Amino acid sequence: MYKRILIPTDGSPVSDYAAGAAIDFAQACGSETVALSIAVPEPVLQSLEGAMVLDPGQEVDTLLRHAYQLASAIAERARTAGVACTPLTRFALDPGEAIVETARKQGCDLIVMGSHGRRGLSRLLAGSVTQSVLAYAPVPVMVLRPAPASEAAQALARECPAEAAAAKRAGGA
């Protein structure tokens, strides 16, 4: 099915959840994976026109080292599950563009990533890396967002419809 799956991470719980699901999926499909973490410089000053001023003294090596730790952690999880994984880092101003470019260059045929599920003003202000990847990715993108704890607990407490139908047939026969 899928031979090479790209797993971008920013180290957040949401991307960690997606990475776990991607590793499980890769294991089931017999796929290899690529773990990607992007070192994104923080703007020092942002104007209303959208221009940014970056601090040239910012420690690029420190950002890349942190990104490598994140990608390596996912690669180790994958290897523990018996899934081949290549950890990669990139330094980029636009994480969405870097994810799409990496998928192309690495020959990935699926991208699995998490989404924070921001809506309204927070999405407008923070932007959406996931939206950017969905818009420009050359391959399918599987977007995962963990259910809130209350929804997960309710889902576990619900009766399985197939089991309920089978029980009804058995009881009524």
Which residues lie below 8 Å from residue 34, measured CB to CB, with a gap of 6+?
Answer: 4, 5, 6, 7, 85, 86, 88, 102, 106, 108
> What 8-state DSSP symbol labels residue 116?
-
Q: Could you read off the pLDDT of 138-156 as tens digits, one per residue?
A: 999 999 987 666 655 555 5
Contact 8, 70 (CB under 8 A): no
Instruction: Say how far residue 171 (Cα) sits from the centre of its chain.
Output: 45
Q: Could you read off the pLDDT of 59-111 as tens digits, one per residue?
A: 888 899 999 999 999 999 999 999 999 999 999 989 999 999 999 999 999 99
* b/e 157-172 (16+ beta carbons within 10 angstroms → b): eeeeeeeeeeeeeeee
**Which stretch of 44-58, 83-97, 100-114, 155-169 has the lowest confidence by average pLDDT?**
44-58
pTM flag (> 0.85): no
**The CATH number of domain 4-148, selected from 1.10.10.10, 2.160.10.10, 3.40.50.300, 3.40.50.620:** 3.40.50.620
d(CA 53, CA 56): 9
Give the residue from 36, 40, 41 showing the smallest Cα distance to 104. Answer: 36
